[in-house]
Structure 1
Amino acid sequence: MSFVRAASRVRPCLRLGVAAAPARRVLPMQARRAFAQTAARKNDDPHAEESFEEFSARYEKEFDAVSDVFELQRNLNNAFAYDLVPAPSVIVAALKAARRVNDYPSAVRVFEGIKAKVENKGQYEEYLTELEPIRAELGIVLKEAMFPDTQFY
């Protein structure tokens, strides 16, 4: 007894070794609109911009809700993707979230992100001064201190 049953009719394209193209199903226009590529906006005005204070409050709240490394890194990528440097309060929330999920490398990378986003070295020094208490509390060592002989930028 054979487990494979022979096909009663073989399609000509399979006989020549060419796979048949799968049939495409055309969806009605309403169904096509259901699969949008952009996210829906939260407010009525499609061109509304978020203020810096709203941005900071939103990311502080998101970092406070972080429960794993993936969420932390996703929020860090999103926060640093904007054309601005996050406020020190957002950085503090991110560092506390990194500590909560036990991700020391991401905490060090936060300072690398700040260094890449600021316009000059003076602004970076101001951030370091402002964030020194949280760095001391969490025991975060900067990359410059870990590798003093290496030129990074």
Structure 2
Amino acid sequence: MARAYSHGLDPSEPADYDAYVAQWRSHFQKCDENFELERGLNHIFAEDWVPSVEVIEDAIKASRRLNTWATAVRVLEALEDKVPKRAQYDQYLAHLQPLLEDLGVEEAKTLGTFEPIREKRWIDRD
């Protein structure tokens, strides 16, 4: 089954890889609305390849530029799910750490858990 990659580029082909990365870097560098950011993220994470670290950097920068901190955190979650091995994710994090610190982006697991608060709406009258 042939894959339909954007503009006929196939990132699994060495000749197309650089052009494919350049296309998505350009997309994230230029996007000026959340819809375009989310569309690009959906596309790169739906492909059969793990996005390059440069594409991830630009996606996180775009998230912060558009003031969507939660999306930046979700990029890391999507990346963690996408990589085949934990060691590869750790390599991404090591490379991205200065950027993440600069932009104030954290992994979701470092944020802790959030328990819903339920209000007692009745009073026991015994």
**Distance change in 2, residues 1:80/1:130 (3 Å):** same
Q: Who is 1:49 aligned against?
A: 10
Aligned residues: 106
Task: For 2:100, give the aligned amino acid.
Answer: R
Q: Who is 2:68 aligned against?
A: 103
Say which structure, 1 or 2, has more relative contact order (CA 8 Å, 6+ apart): 2
Q: Who is 1:77 aligned against?
A: 42
**Distance change in 2, residues 1:70/1:42 (3 Å):** closer
State how far apart, in whole Å, the 2-side matches of 1:129 and 1:52 are. 23
Deviation at residue 137 of structure 1 after TM alignment = 0.7
CA RMSD, 1 decimal: 2.1
**Distance change in 2, residues 1:69/1:122 (3 Å):** same
- Runs of 5+ unmatched residues, structure 1: 1-38, 149-153
Deviation at residue 65 of structure 1 after TM alignment = 1.0
**Distance change in 2, residues 1:85/1:104 (3 Å):** same
Task: For 1:92, give the aligned amino acid.
Answer: E
TM-score normalized with structure 2 length = 0.77
TM-score normalized with structure 1 length = 0.64
Deviation at residue 52 of structure 1 after TM alignment = 2.1
Asked if the contact 2:10/2:17 (under 8 Å) is kept, the reply is: no
Instruction: Return the index of the structure with the highest Cα Rg.
Output: 1
Asked if the contact 2:64/2:103 (under 8 Å) is kept, the reply is: yes
Listed as ranges, the matches of 1:4-153 within 5 Å are 42=7, 49-50=10-11, 51-147=16-112
State how far apart, in whole Å, the 2-side matches of 1:120 and 1:70 are. 30
